């Protein structure tokens, strides 16, 4: 089963994301801050991370940079969750090392397609190796 970590400080957004991921049959971990998210990544090695970029305390950009700088977690795909039409957020997310992004407000069909695409890439050992076939 795919383990997905959702880092999101907004309850309504988090509930929506969790509901959609449940439909996809994912095992879900949630964190309301980047700091808690970083701890969960190390403890649970998710296969995919959905990272809200605007968080209290450490931003999602900074958390992404830290994860991508650490060889143990660098290969876990991170999708930035950014407000629609915020081109600047997209650019910053890319610069921080995000593998893709999801626009808010979430559109269920597009969201699920993106999640499936990233989970299908597969990681044999999350955070260590990516299946290259
Ligand atoms: Mn937020």
* Domain boundary assignment for the chain: 3-47+55-121
Indicate the pTM of the whole model: 0.89
7 Cα to the center of ligand 1, angstroms: 9
Which DSSP letter does residue 66 get? H
pLDDT confidence of 86, banded at 50, 70, 90? confident
Q: pLDDT tens, 96-122?
A: 999 999 998 899 999 999 999 999 986
19 Cα to the center of ligand 1, angstroms: 18
Query: Angle of helix 108-120 relative to helix 11-23, nearest 10 degrees?
Result: 60
54 Cα to the center of ligand 1, angstroms: 4
72 Cα to the center of ligand 1, angstroms: 26
60 Cα to the center of ligand 1, angstroms: 9
The domain 3-47+55-121: what is its CATH number? 3.40.50.2300
Residue 22 CB contacts under 8 Å (≥ 6 apart), including other chains: 28
Q: Provide DSSP, 45-57.
A: --SEEEEES--SS
């Amino acid at each position: 089963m795919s383990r997905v970590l959702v880092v999101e400080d907004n309850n309504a957004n988090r509930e929506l994301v969790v509901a959609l991921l449940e439909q996809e049959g994912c095992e879900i971990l949630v964190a309301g801050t980047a700091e808690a998210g970083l701890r969960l990544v190390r403890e649970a090695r998710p296969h995919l991370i959905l990272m809200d970029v605007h968080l209290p305390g450490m931003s999602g950009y900074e958390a992404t940079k830290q994860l991508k700088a650490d060889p143990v977690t660098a290969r876990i795909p991170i999708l930035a969750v950014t407000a629609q039409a915020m081109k600047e957020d997209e650019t910053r997310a890319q610069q921080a090392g995000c593998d893709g992004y999801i626009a808010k407000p979430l559109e269920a069909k597009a969201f699920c397609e993106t999640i499936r695409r990233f989970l299908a890439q597969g990681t044999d050992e999350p955070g260590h190796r990516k299946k290259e076939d």
